[in-house]
Chains A and B, each alone.
Chain A
Amino acid sequence: MSATTTAPKPGSTALPVFRPSLKVPVSLGVLALIALFFFGFMGPDQTAEMKISDAGDAVAVPALMIPGQVGGIVFGILLLAMAAYSVYLWTQGEKSPKWLPIAFAVVFVFALLVWIVAGARQPSISLAGLVAGSVTLAVPLVFGSLSGVLCERVGVVNIAIEGQLLGGAFTAALVATMTGSPYIGLIAAAAAGAAVSMVLAVFSIKYLVNQIIVGVVLNVLVSGLTGFLYGTLMVPNKEQFNTPGRLDILPIPLLSDIPIIGPILFEQSIAGYLMYIAVAVVWFGLFKTRWGLRVRAVGEHPQAADTLGINVNATRFWNVTLGGAIAGIGGAVFTLVTIDSFTKDISGGRGFIALAALIFGRWNPIGAFLASLLFGFAYNLQSILGIIGTPVPSQFMAMLPYLVTIFAVAGLVGKSRPPAASGIPYVKG
């Protein structure tokens, strides 16, 4: 691959010049060539239609029509140019700027989308639907990863996000059915998540049990408990215990008619609006308030916090509890928004994806939010592509979210630093 190798400049061998890692230039180069070859030269002949606004929208925007093969070649060349720029920077001894891999990833994903759509039986998708669906699928992930942020920032590893989601989902379905109000179900879900979290908090903070083990055990426990109650209670008496009804969608007039952004931001259930509020509040709280400063200090250097009169273990306990409540609300989304009943293990491993989103988002609420959106996008792509009849086998499509997770966490995160005291119990003295 001549595009990715360059002869070292004369004289540069005399002194050990520090060179940034070749990881980024090489991986971008390889991906660009793959894109050019498969999406371009081997690309499909059909034209992909990308609808931006739906038929009923107030503002009509014409759809994007991108011819498969030509589009693939154009995108491939664009990607190669970015890879070449990265290689050029490397020869100058400079690191690629952060925006470069991100821009590369956006173009690559778009090229992939065009390639798949143009090759499908019915070469047309709605971009608006794709994005809105991604957000919907991301909602539980966002709540889950926020829970992780709150716990890890204070020094407790929360592997039990899965259990908190599941506990929330079950409780929401049960309580909403019994009270007849999904809103009460939502509150009950928060309480259930908090309860699961308190077990984690007590065992890891007071009894110093390994946090990873407590978390894993809690996941198994909640799965078993809800599975049992589902089988004995909900299956035989569905009407009484498992018909929660849905949270109403509350569109904001006018604003919800804006193409693409409208349905994402202004046409949500209360849980969707809560998500945006929670991300903003947690971010502001962590970085702009006294509470956040103390929380972060406890997660970074608990002893320092202790010598300044901050109660380390109480701070940890309440933060972990709060995190559980937030994850519980996320769980309620499964049974009160996505579908309107509980089934066994309905969270389906989303808690672990949320954990990945938290790491990919570098322990920052906004980062975790964006990472969750990416994973939500991967989930949604999988289902939409199934509908339009892509030639890619469905098993591969089902792997998509998890592949994205692995690449995101292993490849793109780079050196990110978790809170220094994360996972370490605090013992005085």
Chain B
Amino acid sequence: MGVVKLELKGISKAFGTFYANQDIDLVVESGQIHCLLGENGAGKSTLMNVLYGLYEPTAGQILVDDQAVNFRGPGDAMAVGIGMVHQHFMLVPVFTVAENVALGAEPTTFGGVLSIDETRKKIREISDRYGFDVDPDALVEDLPVGVQQRVEIIKALVREAKVLILDEPTAVLTPQETDELLDIMRQLKAGGTSIVFISHKLREVKAVSDVITVIRRGKVVGDAPPTASATELASMMVGRPVSLSLNKAPAQPKETTFVVENLTVRAANGTNVVDGISFDIAQGEILAVAGVQGNGQTELTEAILGVQEHVTGSVTLDGKQLLGLPVKDVLRSGVGFVPEDRTVDGLVGPFSVAENLVLDLYDQAPFASGISMKPAKVAENAKAKIEEFDIRTPSAGSAAGTLSGGNQQKVVMARELSRPLRLFIASQPTRGVDVGSIEFLHKRIVAERDVGTPVMIVSTELDEVIELADRIAVLYKGKLVGIVPAGTPRDTLGLMMAGVGPEGGSDD
């Protein structure tokens, strides 16, 4: 099969009354890297799922080499040479690489008996050609995410994909792995594969794209050349001028009141997911914890809060030991905590916005007296917070789960920041939040620092870390690689995120 030209004409996809995609036109020329740029929730993934046959479009047409096609499932899309690497990998963890690659297009001998050797050979071939270094017999669950992603790419290539859709492929990668992926994309392009690259990260998009199409709220805003400036692209994404840099005053650290010493968390399998970590934060200072997802960040913050088991070491706030205290006592010691997954740990989805705003104080004055709650005070509080934090909600009584990601996060942030704090911890404060809200949330975090609270931010987005941090701590496999000042070059941070210690810094 030769090269493929792909065209989407007037594609709309509705879920109920909500249009995730509306009247989208898109042409992907062969041998190009075509970027779809847009915020979280702009409809990029929906569009690609339509293109891959997972969703049926409500209206519109897909043309392959100027022929209208009708995909009834991913099998049809694969048959014309479209392959997709999903944001959340579609790999069976308990299968080997070869079994995963074979699945759905299994080479068999008589009677449907698998001949997995053939798949092994193909994997080795592709792996050698692109320098992937993938072992066909490794179990997928034992592989690092970067390698899992290569397995996904191999899956598409084995099926002779001519158009490869990559959905937010860099979200789970270190900066170095990201660079490697961009190289692989260039190689694939040189080999004649066209790539649809979905991302909201401007730097990567500018580095690798031939054409950029910007999508906002389910509609195409327009095309841009890769030479367009980051500010221009961001403004197109958001629909209004955005300032990408947070102008924050230099930190003025005072007394050090929060000290973590030799904190270790042991997991059920006996390994240390947090391994002997020590750091401190001064009043009026932001310490950002950087690292690729899954390197112990979750356990670290949860250990401080007191919801992890098997924790040893010491965590003191204002000289008081927090380890071993019930979560309620930790919170009452003045700890504000924004969990990494707001929908699971931060909010009770079916509860109203007003109720979610007092989840931590519901049993205390002024919201309660004795065993009864005071709904009037709860409503009053809600009104004030909705205004102060610009929470876009139909009403204070609306279920929190129905709000957009950014507004849900504002509810969590509003609740946690409304007590007098001695320490503020925010985990992934802007994950899945629109650019407009990010600006606002960042300003609130800096404002909390400026009133003299020690602030700890945990983020897997390096941009956010660089933006907010006064000092940066990097975690790798549960260990602290080092603590470096703000202004440390990206490359150094990237290497640290892969476990390489900073030059001149302490390296165990």
- Tell me the A residues contacting B by CB distance below 8 Å: 16, 18, 288-294, 296-297, 300-301, 303-311, 417, 420, 428-429
- Decide if A16 touches B266 in the complex (CB within 8 Å): yes
- Decide if B106 touches A293 in the complex (CB within 8 Å): yes
- Decide if A308 touches B90 in the complex (CB within 8 Å): yes
- Decide if B113 touches A289 in the complex (CB within 8 Å): yes
| B112 at interface by CB-CB < 8 Å | yes
Chain A residues with Cβ under 8 A from B52's Cβ? Answer: 307
Bound together, the chains give a CA A409 to CA B66 distance in angstroms of 60
Bound together, the chains give a CA A301 to CA B94 distance in angstroms of 10
Bound together, the chains give a CA A428 to CA B266 distance in angstroms of 37
- Residue contacts A-B, CB under 8 angstroms, 21 given: A16-B312, A288-B113, A288-B114, A291-B112, A292-B114, A293-B103, A296-B92, A297-B92, A297-B103, A301-B91, A301-B93, A303-B90, A304-B92, A306-B54, A308-B75, A309-B75, A309-B76, A310-B103, A417-B94, A429-B54, A429-B55
- Decide if B114 touches A290 in the complex (CB within 8 Å): yes
- Decide if B93 touches A300 in the complex (CB within 8 Å): yes
Chain B residues with Cβ under 8 A from A294's Cβ? Answer: 103-104, 106
Nearest Cβ on chain B to A268's Cβ, whole angstroms = 26
| B16 at interface by CB-CB < 8 Å | no
What does the 1/0 interface line of B91-117 toward A look like (CB < 8 Å)? Answer: 111110001101111101001111000
Bound together, the chains give a CA A393 to CA B113 distance in angstroms of 53
- Decide if A290 touches B112 in the complex (CB within 8 Å): yes
- Decide if A308 touches B74 in the complex (CB within 8 Å): yes
| B214 at interface by CB-CB < 8 Å | no
Chain A residues with Cβ under 8 A from B99's Cβ? Answer: 293
- Decide if B112 touches A289 in the complex (CB within 8 Å): yes
| B86 at interface by CB-CB < 8 Å | yes
Nearest Cβ on chain A to B221's Cβ, whole angstroms = 25
Chain A residues with Cβ under 8 A from B266's Cβ? Answer: 16
Chain B residues with Cβ under 8 A from A291's Cβ? Answer: 112
Nearest Cβ on chain B to A368's Cβ, whole angstroms = 18
Nearest Cβ on chain B to A202's Cβ, whole angstroms = 22
Partner of A300, one of B94, B111, B155: B94
| B84 at interface by CB-CB < 8 Å | yes
A287's nearest neighbour on chain B, judged by CB, is B114
Nearest Cβ on chain A to B349's Cβ, whole angstroms = 18
| B270 at interface by CB-CB < 8 Å | yes
Partner of B104, one of A18, A303, A305: A305
Chain A residues with Cβ under 8 A from B78's Cβ? Answer: 308-309
What does the 1/0 interface line of B266-294 toward A look like (CB < 8 Å)? Answer: 10001100000000000000000000000
Bound together, the chains give a CA A80 to CA B95 distance in angstroms of 40
Chain B residues with Cβ under 8 A from A296's Cβ? Answer: 92, 95
Total interface residues in chain B, CB < 8 Å: 35
Chain B residues with Cβ under 8 A from A289's Cβ? Answer: 108, 111-114
- Decide if A307 touches B112 in the complex (CB within 8 Å): no
Chain B residues with Cβ under 8 A from A293's Cβ? Answer: 95, 99, 102-103, 106, 114
Bound together, the chains give a CA A296 to CA B312 distance in angstroms of 40
Partner of A18, one of B55, B264, B270: B270
Instruction: Check A309/B91 contact, CB under 8 A, given A288-B114, A428-B54.
Output: no
| B487 at interface by CB-CB < 8 Å | no
- Decide if B55 touches A307 in the complex (CB within 8 Å): no
- Decide if A305 touches B94 in the complex (CB within 8 Å): no
- Decide if A307 touches B74 in the complex (CB within 8 Å): yes
- Decide if B74 touches A309 in the complex (CB within 8 Å): yes
Bound together, the chains give a CA A305 to CA B90 distance in angstroms of 8
- Decide if B103 touches A300 in the complex (CB within 8 Å): no
Chain B residues with Cβ under 8 A from A417's Cβ? Answer: 94
Within 8 A of A (CB), among B55-102: 55, 73-76, 78, 84, 86, 90-95, 99-100, 102
Bound together, the chains give a CA A18 to CA B93 distance in angstroms of 26
Chain A residues with Cβ under 8 A from B104's Cβ? Answer: 294, 305, 308-310
Nearest Cβ on chain A to B271's Cβ, whole angstroms = 8
Instruction: Check A304/B111 contact, CB under 8 A, given A309-B73, A309-B75.
Output: no
A16, A291, A293, A311: which has the most chain B beta carbons within 10 Å?
Answer: A293
Nearest Cβ on chain A to B202's Cβ, whole angstroms = 28
Could you list 18 further interchain pairs (A-B, Cβ under 8 angstroms) beyond the known A309-B74, A429-B54? A18-B271, A289-B108, A290-B114, A293-B95, A293-B114, A294-B104, A297-B92, A300-B93, A301-B92, A301-B93, A306-B54, A307-B52, A307-B74, A308-B74, A308-B75, A308-B78, A308-B103, A308-B105
Chain B residues with Cβ under 8 A from A420's Cβ? Answer: 93-94
- Decide if A301 touches B90 in the complex (CB within 8 Å): yes
A304, A311, A417, A428: which has the most chain B beta carbons within 10 Å?
Answer: A304
- Decide if A307 touches B84 in the complex (CB within 8 Å): yes
- Decide if B112 touches A300 in the complex (CB within 8 Å): no
Within 8 A of A (CB), among B351-409: none
Interchain residue pairs A-B with the least CB separation, the first 9: A309-B75, A308-B104, A304-B90, A18-B270, A290-B106, A290-B112, A301-B92, A307-B90, A289-B112
Nearest Cβ on chain B to A203's Cβ, whole angstroms = 24
B269's nearest neighbour on chain A, judged by CB, is A18
Bound together, the chains give a CA A370 to CA B264 distance in angstroms of 43
Nearest Cβ on chain A to B459's Cβ, whole angstroms = 28
- Decide if B108 touches A290 in the complex (CB within 8 Å): yes
B52's nearest neighbour on chain A, judged by CB, is A307
Bound together, the chains give a CA A310 to CA B264 distance in angstroms of 44
B84, B111, B114: which has the most chain A beta carbons within 10 Å?
Answer: B114
Bound together, the chains give a CA A297 to CA B99 distance in angstroms of 9
Chain B residues with Cβ under 8 A from A292's Cβ? Answer: 114
Within 8 A of A (CB), among B94-151: 94-95, 99-100, 102-106, 108, 111-114
Bound together, the chains give a CA A308 to CA B75 distance in angstroms of 6
A415's nearest neighbour on chain B, judged by CB, is B268
Chain A residues with Cβ under 8 A from B84's Cβ? Answer: 307
A300's nearest neighbour on chain B, judged by CB, is B92
Chain A residues with Cβ under 8 A from B100's Cβ? Answer: 304
Bound together, the chains give a CA A288 to CA B114 distance in angstroms of 6
Chain B residues with Cβ under 8 A from A429's Cβ? Answer: 49, 54-55
Bound together, the chains give a CA A301 to CA B86 distance in angstroms of 14
What does the 1/0 interface line of B226-256 toward A look like (CB < 8 Å)? Answer: 0000000000000000000000000000000
Bound together, the chains give a CA A290 to CA B264 distance in angstroms of 45
Bound together, the chains give a CA A157 to CA B232 distance in angstroms of 54
Chain A residues with Cβ under 8 A from B92's Cβ? Answer: 296-297, 300-301, 304-305
B99's nearest neighbour on chain A, judged by CB, is A293
Nearest Cβ on chain B to A382's Cβ, whole angstroms = 38
- Decide if A304 touches B54 in the complex (CB within 8 Å): no
Nearest Cβ on chain B to A420's Cβ, whole angstroms = 7
A291, A293, A301, A307: which has the most chain B beta carbons within 10 Å?
Answer: A307
Nearest Cβ on chain B to A374's Cβ, whole angstroms = 26
Nearest Cβ on chain A to B487's Cβ, whole angstroms = 37
Chain B residues with Cβ under 8 A from A309's Cβ? Answer: 73-76, 78, 104
Chain B residues with Cβ under 8 A from A300's Cβ? Answer: 92-95
Instruction: Check A307/B54 contact, CB under 8 A, given A16-B266, A293-B106, A301-B91.
Output: yes
A428's nearest neighbour on chain B, judged by CB, is B54
Nearest Cβ on chain B to A104's Cβ, whole angstroms = 25
Chain A residues with Cβ under 8 A from B95's Cβ? Answer: 293, 296-297, 300
Chain A residues with Cβ under 8 A from B114's Cβ? Answer: 288-290, 292-293
Nearest Cβ on chain B to A154's Cβ, whole angstroms = 13
A289, A294, A417, A428: which has the most chain B beta carbons within 10 Å?
Answer: A289
Chain B residues with Cβ under 8 A from A310's Cβ? Answer: 103-104
Nearest Cβ on chain A to B5's Cβ, whole angstroms = 23
Bound together, the chains give a CA A305 to CA B78 distance in angstroms of 13
